[in-house]
Chain A
Amino acid sequence: MHIGQACAAIAAARKNICPQAPLVATMSAQFAFDALGETERRIDSVPLMGGAAGLGLGLALARPDLPVIVVDGDASLLMELGSLVTVAHNRPARLLHFVCANGVQFNGLRNLPTAGADPACDFAAMALAAGYAHAERIGDAGQLAAALPGLLARTGATLIELALARDPARVGAETPQPLLPPFQFVRMRHAVRTLKAALQS
């Protein structure tokens, strides 16, 4: 399963089952959701690695009436791994926390290994050990699509480790990395305002 397939399944399920659910994304997932045009009720932890779980937890504590979906990166979560404990301790009503586990940083650019790639981290096991109500690993797009209605109906904190294939690296000496688009540096400010307004309406 590639990240685009995983994000497409998550976006489709949100649209069909709980379009009111806030969506928190970071790293590769934000670009996948951009490509899908998935912009409603969304905020990205950018430029900020490690912040997605905290943002999602805060939203879930403020709005226990809504499910909150977080699509995290493995390198990002490793940066604030204690987030698993912070989430579990604060018992959000409905927090569905995906981790895109591809074992690399800069997926699709240089694919540099994360420290958790070897030996491989078991994020689902760590989430359960931290106190999440449910956790499992899913590596197939069809299986993910079939599981999503049930996952979105769960209460408490749920973590789904998405076992993902890496996108081919496309940056190197012949094709150097470009400057990032200006929107990357203001999109979180924009999202704070638009998501806050959407949640108040």
Chain B
Amino acid sequence: MTSPNPLMVPAPNPPGGASASAVLRALRAAGVTHVVTVPDFVQFALHAQLAAADAGIAQVYACSEDQALTVAAGLYVGGAKPVVLVQNQGFYKCLNTLRATCIDAGVPVVFLVGQFGREIENIGQPTRASSRSMVRLLEPVIETLGLRYWKVADDADAAGIAQALAHAHAEETGAVVLIDRHLTWN
């Protein structure tokens, strides 16, 4: 009998992380009306809570992150208060649309970006030290864009969502909430 290829064995999800319910409470408290999304592996638990009938926040699915962002921009102009939920790969994909809408046009969109693909050795360490480019490059890219970001690694950090929204709307720009690791399902 051959042993499984260690590269093909999923690592267990280490304990810890912010809960989906804490993130949802923070979004509700901040008056968010829509979560526009290309779904994120890291935020599965939040997608599930948003899909519940009593979530109170509409979940809008888009085919690409660029579309998610332009839909969010239209929602904002129409009087709604959306956020965009994507994973790190999707954030990279929509940089030109982010440049046009949030930076040039001043549309205050907050992104909830899941740090997809962190290796278990990187949990608890700076993401800039990750061996994986999609994780390692995210904060430097956000900084290059001149945007601020907040990290959510546990429930207490969910307060950063309100801060990010307040900053984005006051400064008429984008802001990023980094979902540091898999949201828990409670």
Residues of A whose CB lies within 8 Å of any CB of B are 22, 24, 43, 45-48, 50-63, 80, 82-83, 85-86, 89-90, 185-186, 188-189, 191-193, 195-196, 199-200
- CB nearest to B72 among chain A residues: A58
Minimum Cβ distance to chain B for residue A84 (Å): 9
Bound form: Cα–Cα A43–B106 in Å: 13
- B-side contacts of A50, CB under 8 Å: 66, 70, 97
A51:B77 contact, CB within 8 angstroms: no
Cβ A54 vs Cβ B78 within 8 A: no
Do B107 and A86 touch (CB < 8 A)?
A: no
When chains A and B are docked, how far (Å) is the Cα of A56 from the Cα of B76?
11
Residue numbers in A under 8 Å from B60 (CB-CB): 61, 90
Docked CA distance A59–B105 (Å): 16
- Are the C-beta atoms of A80 and B101 separated by less than 8 Å? no
Query: Nearest chain B CB to A15's CB is how many angstroms away?
Result: 21
Min CB gap A12→B, angstroms:
24
A48-B101, A55-B70 as given contacts; A61 in contact with B34, CB under 8 Å? yes
Secondary structure at chain A's binding surface: helix, strand, loop or mixed? helix
Residues in B with CB closer than 8 Å to A83 are 63, 67
Residues of B within 8 A of A57 (CB): 70-71, 74
Q: How far is the CB of A177 from chain B (nearest CB, A)?
A: 21
Q: Are B75 and A82 in contact (CB under 8 A)?
A: no
Least CB distance from A97 to B in Å reads 13
Contact A199 B78 (CB under 8 A): yes
Separation of A192 and B100 alpha carbons in the complex (Å): 12
Interchain CA distance A89-B62 in the complex, whole Å: 8
B30 nearest CB across to chain A (Å): 17
Name the A residues within 8 Å of B104 (CB-CB): 47, 185-186, 188-189
Partner among A63, A80, A89, A195 whose Cβ is within 8 Å of the Cβ of B64: A80
B34 in contact with A48 (CB, 8 Å): no
In the docked arrangement, what's the CA distance between A195 and B104, Å?
16
- Hey, what's the 0/1 contact readout for B58-92 against A, CB within 8 Å counting as 1? 10111110111111111111111010000000000
Given A48-B96, A48-B97, also A90-B74 (CB < 8 A): no
Q: What chain A residues lie within 8 Å of B73 (beta carbons)?
A: 51, 54-55, 58, 192
Q: Which residue of B lies closest to A85 (CB)?
A: B63
* CB-defined A-B contacts under 8 Å, sample of 8: A47-B100, A48-B97, A50-B66, A51-B101, A58-B78, A58-B80, A61-B75, A90-B61
In the complex, the answer to whether A192 meets B80 with C-beta atoms within 8 Å is no
CB distance B75 to A51 under 8 Å?
Answer: no
Please determine whether B71 and A54 come into contact, CB atoms closer than 8 angstroms: yes
Query: Are A199 and B79 CB-contacts (below 8 A) given A80-B64, A86-B67, A188-B105?
Result: yes
Which residues of B have CB within 8 Å of A43?
77
Q: How far is the CB of B70 from chain A (nearest CB, A)?
A: 3
Q: B34 to nearest A CB, angstroms?
A: 7
Q: Could you say which residues of chain B place their CB within 8 Å of the CB of A60?
A: 74, 78
**Structural contact, A192 and B107, CB atoms closer than 8 A:** yes
Closest A residue to B106 using CB positions: A189
Inside 8 A of A185's CB, which chain B residues have their CB?
104
A61: which B residues are within 8 A, CB to CB? 34, 58, 60, 71, 74-75, 78, 80
